[in-house]
Amino acid sequence: MMWLQALILLMVAAGGLGVVVTRDPLNQAVAASFYGILLGLMFFLFHAPDVALSQITVGALALPLMILLALAKIRKREQETQEENRKPEADGQRE
Amino acid sequence: MSAGTRIAMFVLSCAAFTALYIAALCGLSPIGQVHGWAAQYGDAINRMSVPALHITDAVTAVNFEFRGFDTLGEEFIMAVSVLGAALLLRKHPDQGSGPPQDKAAGRKISRPGDAVRVLTVGLVGPVTLFGIYIVVHGQLTPGGGFQGGVILASAPLLIYLAGEFGSLQQVAPRWLVEVGEAVGAGGYAVIGAVSLAVGLPFLANYLPPGRVGDLFSGGIVALIDVTVGLEVAGGLLLLLLVFLEEALTRRP
């Protein structure tokens, strides 16, 4: 048990570092989800199954989902502004 | 600020933090052994939750019985934040709306692969059942309304991943999700108000505790669990719907 606890602590530390060094938000959402599962495992191994369940549902499911939905919304806006910027240029060429 | 000063400040603050952190860790009691007031509190909770309340999951007993009023506040925090997101993403009068973009001609979003569809459709049933199990067994085993609610909300998400936005809207129409969330949020307060009506303090347990280990044990805690599950599932699903509606069906 002691070794498992030490191992999961090391994995959580490595996972946290992994989330920080991932720079692209899309990849980071997946990394954060994996980190959430690691944290849930850690809580479970430290005899807190209730917190582990909350951690897995929120950290591995709800949080990455919200990040992905927000990214979808932002990208849609970027697409729209790009299209708007392109239109005047095309008109200018035609003239 | 030059790079050198920044690094010097980082090293200094990092050293100070590490020293304080190690000092704090040395003061902790070993894992699994608690002393002092924390042990007294834990013992008191353990003494009361099974013999007096017939609740075998002490964490649920703390959340919905000993500090039920705080949990009511937390539940409303969730409801209000979902309300805020729905308000921010509401349809602007100048905006049009069309068929979901993943259905429109010349769509950019590709259809999910067969393996994804089989896996997600196959998971919808088990995930729903598991969510209900976690919600209704809150007073018996780890879990409860909050965790189960999130699991329940993920089942319609699987439907979206498997098919198209239209199927999600058919399975979980927005009015139904809104009603579910409102009933869940209001139900908690109503259960508490009934305590007042029968002459007890707010959220005091007025139902018989039942037999230890039974599905219907713990008195009002079992009921509160279900309302919280409904509220969390509805809230998360509503959040999902407003975001997807905004991203997929709105036209500028």
A73 vs B150: CB contact, 8 Å cut-off?
Answer: no
Q: Which of B243, B246, B250 to mutate against chain A (most A CBs within 10 Å)?
A: B243
Over residues A39-92, the pLDDT tens digits come to: 999 999 988 899 999 999 999 888 998 898 888 878 777 777 777 777 665 554
The answer as to whether A95 is a domain residue is no
Length of chain B in terms of residues written: 252
| Containing structural domain, residue A44 | 2-81
List, as own/partner pairs, every contact residues B76-81 make where C-beta atoms lie below 8 angstroms and the sequence separation is at least 24, other chains included: B76/B185, B78/B231, B78/B232, B78/B235, B79/B181, B79/B185, B79/B231, B79/B235
What pLDDT, on the 0 to 100 scale, is given for residue B82? 93
Residues of A in contact with B150 (CB under 8 A): 57-58, 61-62
User: Does residue B94 carry a pLDDT above 80?
Assistant: no
Whole-angstrom distance, CA of residue A48 vs CA of residue A35: 17
What pLDDT, on the 0 to 100 scale, is given for residue B103? 56
Over residues B167-209, the pLDDT tens digits come to: 888 888 999 999 999 999 999 999 999 999 999 989 888 888 8
Alpha-carbon distance B247 to nearest alpha carbon in chain A (angstroms): 5
The answer as to whether A34 is a domain residue is yes
Over residues B114-125, the pLDDT tens digits come to: 888 899 989 999
The structural domains of chain B, with segments of one domain joined by +, span 57-251
The answer as to whether A68 is a domain residue is yes
A57 vs B240: CB contact, 8 Å cut-off?
Answer: no
The answer as to whether A93 is a domain residue is no
What pLDDT, on the 0 to 100 scale, is given for residue A89? 54
What pLDDT, on the 0 to 100 scale, is given for residue B107? 52
User: Does residue B62 carry a pLDDT above 80?
Assistant: yes
Alpha-carbon distance B136 to nearest alpha carbon in chain A (angstroms): 14
**How many domains does chain A contain in total?**
1
The answer as to whether A94 is a domain residue is no
Residues of A in contact with B239 (CB under 8 A): 66, 69
- Span between the terminal Cα atoms of chain A, in Å: 76
Whole-angstrom distance, CA of residue B244 vs CA of residue B152: 18
Residues in Cβ contact with B131 at an 8 Å cutoff, skipping those fewer than 6 apart: B148, B149, B151, B152, B154, B155, B229, B233
A4 to chain B, any CB pair closer than 8 A? The answer is no
A53 vs B147: CB contact, 8 Å cut-off?
Answer: yes
- Asked if residues A65 and B247 have their Cβ atoms less than 8 Å apart, the reply is no
**Which band of pLDDT confidence, cut at 50, 70 and 90, is reported for residue B17?**
very high
**Which band of pLDDT confidence, cut at 50, 70 and 90, is reported for residue A95?**
very low
The answer as to whether A87 is a domain residue is no
ipTM attached to this prediction: 0.78
Over residues B128-177, the pLDDT tens digits come to: 999 999 999 999 999 888 999 999 999 998 888 887 788 888 888 999 99
